[in-house]
Chains A and B, each alone.
Chain A
């Protein structure tokens, strides 16, 4: 009877059971989840369910050899394949590393170009790495408003090929062989990460063109000219390809929503007070978030592009008063979780805002520049990689610093969730791949931001450094003044109305 009954189980129940089994079995696999592109997913939300603080340096591969004569571009931010393989782009290589210990597992030649973050997508015979290469037809220093700073290789120092162009290419992750017959020709150099959504890769270049490429064939599905440089990775959400344009003298900086299948424009959005958008449009909780160069954090409705709010942060030590900068291949991006939006400026100051209203919640000044990559957000913390090589964790609720760990070298960037580990890169010419794992035996710290007034500390500093110095100065110079006497007799008032 039982067997008979069980044979009568409805198809719907079977589906539920299958989903449940897949979920239970898949849970451990989720811990090894892939981080296939910039900030993890097509929405670029930077949400990580990887290891939690306290963290420790699990391993570091310092033996990464960069080919070519100009290696100042260093490594791109990594992407993580489903099998745990770590993939980065170097000035003339695409490199793969073992997720367990960081040892190099493959190296594929690449035309010399900016180290823009690649993406991993589904190719015809398994996963493929999609990357951009070459310097396009405008040379290595595109004339974008502020996109200049990060080390980027120079064309002259390349391998001497005068027929340089800019194109997209793909290699099979298993075999390391080129997937397409030839690379996809682009109009301009690419300094933003490649984005993938299902069978299509999306690329924005500094000339303002967005190109959609079919992963299976390498055919261009569509392209769209937007006129001004693309500021960040193309974002994929609900059938839309969202793009931020940097703007120019005449053109406003905008978020443009294109149909992901056809490239047709759906809507454009900008804000009156906003300056040049310098981040990818990040999608979180039905909002599109972006950053502008003078410190604006902006939210738009993801459905129709309706402007929701803009909050401007002020940082007196930001270079040229610009807290968020487009730094070559290292673009900033906000992150959002649990009703909050987080952003990190170039000086390493972390800000939290209410996701509904944009009202500031807290800020924490790390006083350690973070110019090369955006933060990650976990359930409890914002993780910030800094130029000093330190990885910081700031509590989502309180804004207090709860953990910091050194990567063993400078310019830590591109933290990516590799399941049990967080993987990033550091250095430029002397590049390394590093991984952090949980270290539950350590206890967290709890440090408020130095921008929070602590009257006791303030007055202690004043008494020790101000009052004592003042006292010493007076006591030391009084004998001298007594000996010297007045420098002059009292002045005679000689002016027009001196009487």
Chain B
């Protein structure tokens, strides 16, 4: 092969990839396996008294506040307070409409989303700290506040995703509705799960965090889509299960309902930590944003100047 042809190949732009084209690639060496990431995330977060204690206090306080505002239940809705968006969006929507009714509740959903974004930001900070140092301290939580604007934006996107999925599902008919909604949740979780982690660890701007999260999610051989699906599908199934504890109108949830809600939140926390570990392990490999092509006039003037 001649030197010229080698040079041509290097300078050629990489072939454009489809959304799911990375799925057929061989596994990345640097990406922790799903089981490893989950185990490390679970062990790191569940063993932290600060994190578990904070979770319990948050759940109790939030429950008392919403009950004081007139929410009659079900308590099981709090099971997804600690989930990444758009899974937690259902809690935002249901709490606001459950307190204020459908009409006013939809207007107030951003208020609920802001409160939950605050909690999730603290949680991401604590989860990252457990990944990095095996412990969680209040400084980890404070550090997590960096992610607040990104997480709040994700909550807004989550509301849009849920509504869009419902509209598309309504058009698609009842047979497809479930699949469309589930697919929307999986894809949104997949592409945005890393954004809060990036915001905390890399101090990037909002759009940069979102873009980098998407690029990290799509890295060939990362298995991120599979990981998101394995997480989201069973959680989505709990939304449809009628026999779970705490699904009735009751402001004094029995211990069974508390066990369910606490364990579900702990599961979400472990997953958040697993996402953090998976991102941090490959952060240096995430491609930078493609440089935007210069506007044609500038290109033209550049060519003219070059002559």
Give Cα A452–Cα B252 distance, bound, in whole angstroms.
8
Residue numbers of B with Cβ under 8 A of A are 32, 39-44, 46-49, 52-53, 55-56, 59-60, 63, 67, 70-74, 77, 94, 97-103, 128, 131-134, 198, 201-205, 208, 247-259, 261-263, 266, 277, 280-281, 283-284
Given A466-B262, A469-B262, A491-B280, CB of A474 within 8 Å of CB of B128 = no
Residue of B with least CB distance to A471: B52
Distance of B175 from chain A, by nearest CB (Å): 17
Cross-chain contact A316 with B97 (CB below 8 angstroms) = yes
Cross-chain contact A465 with B266 (CB below 8 angstroms) = no
Distance of B104 from chain A, by nearest CB (Å): 9
Distance of A319 from chain B, by nearest CB (Å): 12
Measured between beta carbons, the chain B residues less than 8 angstroms from A487 are 32, 40-41, 44, 131-132, 277
Cross-chain contact A493 with B203 (CB below 8 angstroms) = yes
Cross-chain contact B253 with A365 (CB below 8 angstroms) = no
- The 3 A-B pairs at the shortest CB distance, nearest first, are namely A465-B258, A465-B255, A316-B98
Cross-chain contact B255 with A498 (CB below 8 angstroms) = no
Cross-chain contact B99 with A314 (CB below 8 angstroms) = yes
Give Cα A496–Cα B201 distance, bound, in whole angstroms.
11
Among A431-464, those with CB < 8 Å from B are 450-454, 457-458, 460-462, 464
Measured between beta carbons, the chain B residues less than 8 angstroms from A473 are 46, 52, 266
Cross-chain contact A321 with B251 (CB below 8 angstroms) = no
Distance of B39 from chain A, by nearest CB (Å): 8
Give Cα A493–Cα B198 distance, bound, in whole angstroms.
10
Q: Does A495 contact B (CB under 8 A)?
A: yes
Given A465-B258, A488-B131, A488-B277, CB of A470 within 8 Å of CB of B55 = yes
Q: Does A108 contact B (CB under 8 A)?
A: no
Distance of A137 from chain B, by nearest CB (Å): 27
Digit string of A462-491 for contact with B (CB within 8 Å is 1, else 0)?
101111011001101110111011111111
Cβ 8 A contact of A484, one of B40, B60, B77, B252: B40
Cross-chain contact B132 with A457 (CB below 8 angstroms) = no
Q: Does A497 contact B (CB under 8 A)?
A: yes
Cross-chain contact B257 with A461 (CB below 8 angstroms) = yes
Cross-chain contact B102 with A465 (CB below 8 angstroms) = no
Measured between beta carbons, the chain B residues less than 8 angstroms from A493 are 201-203
Cross-chain contact A365 with B281 (CB below 8 angstroms) = no
Distance of B186 from chain A, by nearest CB (Å): 24
Q: Does A82 contact B (CB under 8 A)?
A: no
Cβ 8 A contact of B250, one of A314, A365, A481: A365
Distance of B80 from chain A, by nearest CB (Å): 14
Which of B55, B56, B60, B102 has its CB near the most chain A CB atoms (within 10 A)?
B102
Residue of B with least CB distance to A460: B255
Q: Does A347 contact B (CB under 8 A)?
A: yes
Residue of A with least CB distance to B36: A487
Given A316-B74, A487-B131, CB of A454 within 8 Å of CB of B252 = yes
Distance of B69 from chain A, by nearest CB (Å): 11
Which of B72, B73, B133 has its CB near the most chain A CB atoms (within 10 A)?
B72
Distance of A205 from chain B, by nearest CB (Å): 28
Cross-chain contact B102 with A321 (CB below 8 angstroms) = yes
Cross-chain contact B257 with A481 (CB below 8 angstroms) = no
Given A349-B249, A498-B202, A498-B203, CB of A484 within 8 Å of CB of B102 = no
Give Cα A287–Cα B74 distance, bound, in whole angstroms.
34
30 pairs of residues in contact across A and B, judged by CB atoms under 8 Å? A314-B98, A314-B100, A314-B101, A316-B71, A316-B74, A316-B97, A349-B249, A367-B249, A451-B250, A453-B252, A458-B253, A462-B60, A465-B253, A465-B256, A466-B59, A466-B261, A469-B258, A469-B263, A473-B46, A481-B43, A486-B132, A487-B32, A488-B277, A488-B280, A489-B132, A491-B283, A494-B202, A496-B203, A496-B208, A497-B203
Cross-chain contact B249 with A315 (CB below 8 angstroms) = yes
Measured between beta carbons, the chain A residues less than 8 angstroms from B203 are 493, 495-498
Q: Does A312 contact B (CB under 8 A)?
A: yes
Measured between beta carbons, the chain A residues less than 8 angstroms from B44 are 481, 484, 487
Cβ 8 A contact of B97, one of A321, A349, A466, A494: A321
Measured between beta carbons, the chain A residues less than 8 angstroms from B131 are 486-488
Beyond A365-B72, A473-B266, A474-B46, 16 additional contacts (C-beta under 8 Å) are A315-B72, A316-B73, A316-B249, A365-B249, A365-B250, A458-B251, A467-B56, A470-B52, A470-B55, A473-B46, A480-B47, A482-B47, A487-B41, A487-B132, A491-B128, A495-B201
